[in-house]
């Protein structure tokens, strides 16, 4: 074993001699890090903490049943960590290291340990940051006791260890086992109402710690100890690392390296395309393709969608959740209302995306030399029918499920049309104008990256600002919000038309 | 030296056959050349023989034990080059080979010697300080073959090593492989090259259409 470690150190030293950063690089990195922390991270954290410290939000966070919601969210995070492993595992070294270090005769528990520790550290920082922001808000609101707050943060640290192991399990174990475990954990999240269930799992212990934050409740020590002990699951990491298959690690390494390269060059659409796996089932599904063109395209899109059952179920569930979250109500506190409206709009946009494969293909074929014999506008318009139908149907189900008045259906329908139009706008984006890459020198350095980010994220920004913002006011100013979103939809449609024509359609 | 075997291995996905059943035995010091039309399953068979793919039916064995690349023994014994490797753009050709040799326990000057010897055998020595993006496609192919030869192995598996190589380079690759066969290593190569088959094959297997 000692010899193995020496070999790894020697191998890494070969790389280090080539990749070692120069002092000027290190200095620039520190300069950028200090600026980002001072100008972005600290103001953002202060804004979030102040927003969460509003009395309405603090009251919502300390509501009698809030601990059950915390338990449910934590369990969903645990199930999500398991399922994430196959798409983006906890161990994703560069393809080069995967090929020659993980593929060498050295034990993978040694060669891949550094990659896992990096992922686990990032995960731990994310969990602690989230917990710290919420606890900071509660302390600022004068509600949380320091001892309980500290115990909660410590518990979250233990929880992050458990989540890291689950993440690695999702990558290392067979799909059948991980899906089974995820379903089991997901089911347990629904059982938080049953007395005693919270005492038997890390997500339950986190919920109990959250409850002990409330004024007038005793400080609990045992859940922190239980979470710390459960993080000993990290002892299973070497075995899990040794169980990883090199082809699967390499597939993820190559995929995420490509995603990184495409994002760096500004091709986010291409990057998200790489993340969409090709179909492996449903090749013999019947696709009749009969009737008028629009119906033919709906059949084509619907059959194609059935080849991605998991994706479609997840996307449709997201739309149902979006309908539930965006149902207009005038009774929720301001801070919570903004969170639900923005989350709902974003979920709707992401959920509709899984129904848009045909739409994207039509846009890719919009230029000269298209495979299709119809105009790009006809093709794109016809491919928008299925996403719009799915958005209206699934979102309406969520809206009705929320118990909102029937009028909320009308709001959701408008929202669906708007979001699908934004999807059309996004699919017809084409290559990024080269002018956006021109340097913009400022005392903080070249900020042309902001242009690139704005170009790449324009659809999400439009959805968040328009759909999210107007949803927040739909409960109190319904008619005005409806008129504004209809106007915005017309504007987006005009922009989309312009983009389609620019593509050659 | 181990014996590599495949007993009626086949691969299918969702009833689509990628590799029809095939059986082989490769003994130490033997070279087997796999032939067949495009799409007949040559690469799929090589992936099975290197332990990277489990056959849908049948069994692949290394010295009588089920073959799986997750086993350290299998990784130590088998050196497989199927497709181009993921090169590091920041390393030179020589650094690549030295690094690979180091990961296989050849430290210090031993690793440098192994890299030198492999580059010399394949006529790459002049390119030692080039980055990968500075190599031609044929030179890149040679470097890919070199990554498989620079490490210790008992079984060598190569997928169409003749790709993009001229006759001279092809002869160099064949000679380098022969050196390993002579020391007792077994070799499995998928190839469309008549020269490669003629110069190397102790046995051939031709895959039919799946």
pTM: 0.79
**Does residue A505 register a pLDDT over 60?**
no
Please compute the mean of the pLDDT values over residues B24-46 and round it to a whole number. 96
- Residues A204-260 pLDDT 10s: 899 889 888 887 777 788 888 888 888 889 999 999 999 999 999 999 999 898 888
Question: For residue A19, what are its two tokens?
Answer: 């990749």
- Name the pLDDT band for A268 (thresholds 50, 70, 90): low
Using a CB–CB cut-off of 8 Å, the residues of B that contact A are 13-14, 16, 52-53, 69-70, 72, 75-76, 85-88, 90-91, 95, 98-100, 102-105, 107-108, 147, 151
Name the 3-class secondary structure at A55.
helix
Cβ neighbours of residue B155 under 8 Å, at least 6 residues apart? B2, B4, B26, B62, B77, B78, B79, B185, B186, B187, B188
Q: Which of B143, B164, B163, B141 is nearest to B93 (CA)?
A: B143
Distance in angstroms (rounded) separating the CA atoms of residues A231 and A212 = 21
| Lowest mean pLDDT across A80-94, B83-97, B127-141 | B83-97
Q: Check residue A369 and give its pLDDT.
A: 65
**Does residue A368 register a pLDDT over 70?**
no
Residues in A closer than 8 angstroms to B70, CB to CB, are: 242-246
- Residues B48-99 pLDDT 10s: 999 999 999 999 999 999 999 899 899 999 999 999 988 887 788 998 999 8
**Complex confidence, ipTM:** 0.73
B115 in Cβ contact with B97 (< 8 Å): yes
Name the 3-class secondary structure at A48.
helix
Share of chain B above pLDDT 90, in %: 77
3-state secondary structure A74-131: HHHHHHHHHHHCCCCCCCCCCHHHHHHHHCCCCCHHHHCHHHHHHHHHHHHHHHHHHH
**Does residue A330 register a pLDDT over 60?**
no
Q: Check residue A130 and give its pLDDT.
A: 93
Q: Check residue A405 and give its pLDDT.
A: 81
What domains, with CATH codes, occur in chain B? 4-207 (3.40.50.300)
Q: Check residue B23 and give its pLDDT.
A: 97
Report DSSP letters for B11-76, one per residue.
Answer: EEETTEEEEEEEEEEE-TT-EEEEEE-TTSSHHHHHHHHTTSS--SEEEEEETTEE--TTSHHHHH
Q: Where on the phi/psi map is residue B183: left (φ > 0), alpha (ψ -120 to 50), or beta?
A: alpha
Distance in angstroms (rounded) separating the CA atoms of residues A322 and B4 = 56
Please compute the mean of the pLDDT values over residues A489-496 and round it to a whole number. 96
Residues β-bridged to residue B78: B155
Distance in angstroms (rounded) separating the CA atoms of residues A11 and A96 = 12
Residues β-bridged to residue B188: B32, B157
Name the 3-class secondary structure at A43.
helix
Distance in angstroms (rounded) separating the CA atoms of residues A78 and A71 = 11
Q: Check residue B127 and give its pLDDT.
A: 94
Q: Is A246 on the interface with B (CB under 8 A)?
A: yes
Which DSSP symbol is given to A355?
T
What residue segments make up the domains of chain A, in order of their start? 53-252, 276-502
Cβ neighbours of residue B117 under 8 Å, at least 6 residues apart? none
Sign of CA dihedral A194, A196, A200, A206: positive
**Does residue A420 register a pLDDT over 80?**
yes
Q: Which of A352, A347, A350 is nearest to A326 (CA)?
A: A347
- Name the pLDDT band for A333 (thresholds 50, 70, 90): low
Nearest to B69 among A246, A280, A281 (CB): A246
Q: Which of B154, B142, B158 is nearest to B190 (CA)?
A: B158
The nearest alpha carbon in chain B to A12 belongs to: B99
What's the residue count for chain B? 210
Distance in angstroms (rounded) separating the CA atoms of residues A474 and A470 = 6
- Residues B5-15 pLDDT 10s: 999 999 998 88
């Amino acid at each position: 074993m000692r010899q193995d470690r020496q070999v790894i150190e020697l191998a890494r030293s070969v790389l280090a001699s080539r990749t070692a950063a120069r002092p000027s690089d290190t200095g620039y990195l520190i300069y950028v890090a200090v600026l980002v922390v001072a100008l972005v991270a600290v103001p953002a954290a202060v804004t979030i903490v102040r927003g969460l410290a509003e009395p309405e939000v603090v009251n919502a966070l300390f509501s009698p049943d809030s601990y059950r919601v915390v338990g449910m969210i934590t369990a969903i995070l645990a199930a999500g960590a398991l399922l994430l492993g196959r798409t983006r595992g906890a161990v994703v070294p560069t393809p080069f290291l995967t090929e020659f270090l993980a593929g060498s005769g050295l034990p993978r528990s040694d060669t891949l340990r550094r990659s896992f520790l990096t992922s686990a550290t990032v995960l731990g920082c994310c969990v602690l940051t989230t917990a710290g922001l919420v606890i900071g808000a509660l302390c600022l609101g004068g509600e949380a006791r320091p001892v309980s707050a500290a115990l909660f943060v410590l518990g979250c640290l233990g929880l992050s260890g458990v989540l890291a192991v689950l993440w690695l399990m999702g990558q290392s174990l067979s799909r059948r086992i991980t899906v089974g475990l995820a379903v089991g954990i997901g089911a347990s999240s629904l059982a938080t109402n049953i007395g005693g269930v919270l005492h038997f799992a890390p997500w339950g212990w986190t919920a109990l710690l959250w409850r002990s934050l409330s004024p007038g409740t005793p400080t609990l020590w045992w859940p922190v100890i239980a979470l710390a002990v459960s993080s000993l699951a990290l002892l299973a990491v070497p075995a899990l690392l040794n169980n990883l298959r090199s082809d699967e690690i390499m597939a993820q390494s190559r995929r995420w390296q490509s995603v990184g390269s495409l994002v760096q060059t500004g091709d986010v659409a291409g990057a998200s395309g790489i993340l969409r796996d090709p179909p492996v089932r449903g090749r013999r599904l019947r696709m009749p393709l009969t009737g008028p063109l629009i119906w033919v395209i709906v059949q084509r899109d619907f059959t194609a969608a059935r080849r991605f059952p998991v994706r479609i179920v997840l996307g449709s569930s997201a739309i149902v959740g979006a309908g539930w979250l965006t149902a207009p109500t005038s009774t929720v506190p301001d801070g919570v209302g903004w969170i639900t409206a923005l989350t709902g709009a974003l979920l709707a946009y992401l959920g509709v995306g899984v129904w848009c494969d045909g739409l994207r293909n039509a846009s890719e074929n919009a230029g000269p030399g298209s495979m299709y014999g119809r105009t790009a506008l006809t093709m794109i318009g016809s491919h928008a029918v299925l996403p719009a139908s799915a958005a209206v149907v699934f979102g309406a189900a969520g809206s009705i499920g929320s118990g909102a008045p029937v009028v909320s259906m009308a709001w959701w329908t408008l929202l669906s049309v708007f979001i699908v139009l934004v999807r059309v706008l996004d699919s017809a984006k084409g290559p990024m104008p080269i002018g956006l890459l021109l340097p913009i020198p400022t005392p903080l350095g070249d900020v042309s990256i902001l242009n690139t980010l704005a170009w790449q994220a324009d659809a999400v920004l439009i959805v968040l600002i328009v759909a999210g913002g107007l949803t927040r006011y739909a409960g109190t100013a319904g008619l005005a919000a409806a008129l504004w979103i209809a106007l915005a939809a017309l504007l987006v449609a005009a922009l989309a038309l312009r983009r389609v024509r620019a593509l050659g359609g | 030296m181990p014996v590599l075997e495949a007993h009626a291995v086949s691969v299918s996905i969702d009833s689509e056959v990628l590799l029809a059943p095939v059986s082989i035995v490769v003994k130490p010091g033997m070279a087997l050349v796999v032939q067949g039309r495009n799409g007949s399953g040559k690469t799929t068979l090589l992936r099975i023989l290197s332990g990277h793919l489990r056959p849908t039916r049948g069994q692949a064995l290394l010295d009588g034990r089920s073959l799986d690349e997750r086993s350290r023994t299998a990784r130590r014994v088998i050196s497989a080059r199927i497709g181009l490797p993921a090169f590091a753009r920041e390393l030179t050709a020589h650094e690549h080979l030295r690094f690979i040799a180091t990961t296989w326990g050849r430290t210090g000057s031993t690793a440098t010697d192994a890299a030198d010897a492999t580059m010399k055998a394949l006529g790459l020595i002049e390119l030692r300080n080039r980055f990968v993006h500075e190599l031609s496609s044929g030179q890149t192919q040679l470097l890919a073959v070199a990554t498989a030869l620079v490490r210790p192995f008992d079984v060598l598996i190569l997928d169409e090593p003749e790709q993009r190589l001229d006759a001279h380079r092809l002869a160099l690759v064949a000679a380098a492989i022969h050196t390993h066969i002579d020391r007792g290593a077994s070799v499995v190569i998928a190839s469309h090259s008549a020269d490669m088959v003629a110069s190397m094959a102790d046995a051939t297997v031709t895959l039919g259409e799946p």
